[in-house]
Amino acid sequence: MNGTDPSDLQFGCQVVTYGDVTGTVEQAQRAEEAGFDVLTLPDHLFHPTGSDEFLVDPPWEAFTVLGAIAQHTDRATIMPGVTDSVRRHPTELAHSTVTLDRMTDGRAALGIGAGEAFNFTPMTDIEWDDPFSQFVEAVKVIDGLWNSQADDPFSFDGDFYGLEDAHMGLKPVQDPRPPIWVGGYGPSMRGFAGAVADGWFPWIHSPDQYAADLERVLSAAEDRGRDPEEIDRAVMVPTTVTDDADEAREIAVERNRTTLALRPPLLAEMGYEEIAEETPIMRDMAFTDEQEEQLLSAAERIPAEAVDEVTISGDPERAIERIEAFADAGVDNLVLIPVGDFDETLRHYEDEIVPYFRDR
């Protein structure tokens, strides 16, 4: 598979200061000033109470904060990275996204996945027996509503959702619709991304495994008669950049061991099968005491070189080398998750890294 021309690479930034809405909006403004093309927010509802290790600060509501970011930015695409089809009805997602698209004159996108347990474990009235099928129906409903007309309303009779003669009058600025990026790792999610969506948007990958997994997306696109080159190939990657490469690497390894531990299939594909067998996968994490103990125990066994493979850390020169590895793997939208000193990392991207790729 051919890689991406590094000069065509788009940069995104995942911004989040939980418990501090204003801080998140300010980070988004700063990222746009630094040259980032896409701004994403995680979409969480419940964070585990009582944990001293994970998600200790309270989450804000993602679409509300995206609306604030819309009013304080001018150029970048804004989107959840990612929302889910479990807690939010697809009619709400269709309406919220098109509202953002109108507010920004066509700068909205929808990142969507099948959900993670910790976001809705306290909600006893929610079933999660078949998240992929529910996700597929949700995307069909969203797309159908965006295309509905008063004289041609949208009806849908599914296992999870039902609409009869629905017409959503507010329409997106973008034609035919805001981009839909699918967040998911398994073969079914990747196949759906290639068959239907505008982009594939997984969380945490190594370049080698990204290239291998991307083949499923592109082959599904070809099977549907789509042009694979028209599909956005995105990924979220933690990044730490400082003047001292060793210091940045140390921060990245310390902060991202547990991140990698939450991706046991990736760990197994990278050759760490024994560790992968001992840690829960992210989608099933409710962050119970037992799960946290398993996660921390597995994370301690992950070698630093494995964490290096799924992060972009070091001084600017090493960061550029890592970014080029992801571009060679086929990534054309690199959404970075700053870890450590946000301002210092952003300064290096603004002054050295983004210009290196833009000026080629």
Taking 70 as the threshold, does the pLDDT of residue 2 lie above it?
no
User: What 3-state DSSP class applies to 111?
Assistant: strand
pLDDT for 52 equals: 79
Q: pLDDT-derived band of residue 314, with 50, 70 and 90 as boundaries?
A: very high
Helices first, then strands: H and E counts in the chain: 14, 12
Pair 100, 70: CB distance under 8 Å: yes
Q: Phi/psi at 357 (nearest 5 deg)? A: -80, -35
Angle (CA) 8-14-20 rounded to 5° is: 150
Angle (CA) 189-79-339 rounded to 5° is: 90
Q: pLDDT-derived band of residue 126, with 50, 70 and 90 as boundaries?
A: confident
Two structure tokens written together for 272: 């760490």
Q: Phi/psi at 179 (nearest 5 deg)? A: -60, 140
Q: What stretch of H or E contains 254?
A: helix 245-261
pLDDT for 7 equals: 83
Rounding to the nearest 10 degrees, give the CA dihedral for residues 201, 206, 207, 213.
Answer: -60
Mean pLDDT of 299-324: 97
Site of tokens 């073969």? 187
Taking 80 as the threshold, does the pLDDT of residue 320 lie above it?
yes
pLDDT for 289 equals: 86
Percent of the chain with pLDDT over 70: 99
pLDDT for 128 equals: 81
Q: pLDDT-derived band of residue 100, with 50, 70 and 90 as boundaries?
A: very high
pLDDT tens by residue, 269-297: 999 999 999 888 888 888 888 888 999 99
Mean pLDDT of 237-250: 97
pLDDT for 117 equals: 82
CA distance 16 to 221: 33
pLDDT tens by residue, 33-81: 999 999 999 999 988 877 877 787 999 999 999 999 999 999 999 999 9
Pick the CATH number of 10-240+317-359 from 3.20.20.30, 3.40.50.800, 3.30.365.10, 3.40.50.720: 3.20.20.30
pLDDT, the chain, mean = 94
Pair 344, 316: CB distance under 8 Å: no
Two structure tokens written together for 54: 């994970």
- Indicate the domain borders of the chain: 10-240+317-359
Cβ partners under 8 Å of residue 321, min gap 6: none
Pair 310, 206: CB distance under 8 Å: yes
Taking 60 as the threshold, does the pLDDT of residue 1 lie above it?
no
**Which of 8-22, 257-271, 286-300, 302-316 comes out lowest in average pLDDT?**
286-300
CA distance 111 to 252: 25
Mean pLDDT of 220-242: 97
Two structure tokens written together for 177: 């619709």
Cβ partners under 8 Å of residue 344, min gap 6: 241, 242
pTM over 0.85: yes
Closest CA to 166 of 149, 187, 183, 181: 149
Q: How many CA atoms lie within 13 A of 287 on its CB side?
A: 17
- Measured from the Cβ of residue 116, the count of other Cβ atoms closer than 10 Å reads 23
Two structure tokens written together for 242: 């400082």
Q: pLDDT-derived band of residue 202, with 50, 70 and 90 as boundaries?
A: very high
